[in-house]
Amino acid sequence: MQLEDAKENEVIAALREHDILQRLLSNDAQARQVLGEAEKFLVRARQDFEGANSCSTADAWGVGGNWVEMSEQSALSRCQQHVSLTQMLMCQSMNFQPAIQPLGDIQVARMNFMSDIVFDNSFSDIHMRDKIKMSLSQIQTADGKLKQEIETQDQRVKSATAEVEMAKERLVQRRQELQDVRREAFENLADMMGGIEGPNGPPPEYTGREPEKGWVVVPPL
């Protein structure tokens, strides 16, 4: 009985270990999925910055006029939205996996209505272009960090998957051991019961007569 209790405890421990590792794997898998979504928005932000940089360069050379400035401002506005979404998704991924590192601050260049639009001149255009280039550089740095985080997270998912598989094998083994112990105990009990005799030897066969005292003989069906 003590051996069976010990095997039951081993099964409970193996099941608990498997459940914990399965939850960790689920968290890592969700974190990886969120990082993938963050990468999509960061790519869009970089594309917006590149578009804004092209518009800013054209504006600095006096090409395009108000249409270029409007396109530049629109691209920067979209970029701000995509950067905000990227940062939000990074926070979500860190809730699933705290080991994930943040991308750092990304400052999105903004146009000043008075200096860049009302009193637009070549100096303000060049200054705005420099700010956009600085923002673009931050985006590129963040992109490199995010790719590294995704690669690291892929390794975590792979490792967690392997641990879950091993825990599953241990659980199956512990359950089989418990089943073997119970079967052996049952067989031993059956052998003991089979060797038990009545008060005066084995029970008599049914003869139709009254059985001797101490036995109750059930007639065959």
Q: Reduce the DSSP state of residue 179 to 3 states and report it.
A: helix
Residue 122 amino acid letter: S
In this prediction, residues 72-80 reach a mean pLDDT of 81
Distances, alpha carbon 122 to alpha carbons 82, 119, 134, 170, in Å: 29, 10, 18, 72
In this prediction, residues 83-96 reach a mean pLDDT of 96
Res 191 pLDDT > 70: yes
Distances, alpha carbon 121 to alpha carbons 52, 61, 62, 69, 125, in Å: 17, 10, 9, 12, 6
Residue 26: other Cβ atoms inside 10 A: 13
Backbone angles phi, psi at 198, to 5 degrees: -75, -175
Res 17 pLDDT > 90: yes
Whose CA is closest to 99, among 197, 44, 32, 50? Answer: 32
Across-strand partners of 203?
none
Q: Reduce the DSSP state of residue 208 to 3 states and report it.
A: coil
Identify which has the larger pLDDT, 52 or 80: 80
Distances, alpha carbon 53 to alpha carbons 41, 121, 129, in Å: 18, 17, 6
pLDDT digits (tens, 9 = 90+) for 96-144: 999 999 998 888 876 554 444 444 545 556 667 778 788 888 999 999 9
Residue 203 amino acid letter: P
Q: What is the pLDDT of residue 218?
A: 43
Give, in degrees to the nearest 5, the angle at Cα 34 between 23 and 143: 135
Helical residues (DSSP H) of 97-121, grouped into ranges: none
Place of tokens 């209505």: 113
Residue 129: other Cβ atoms inside 10 A: 21
pTM to 2 decimal places:
0.72
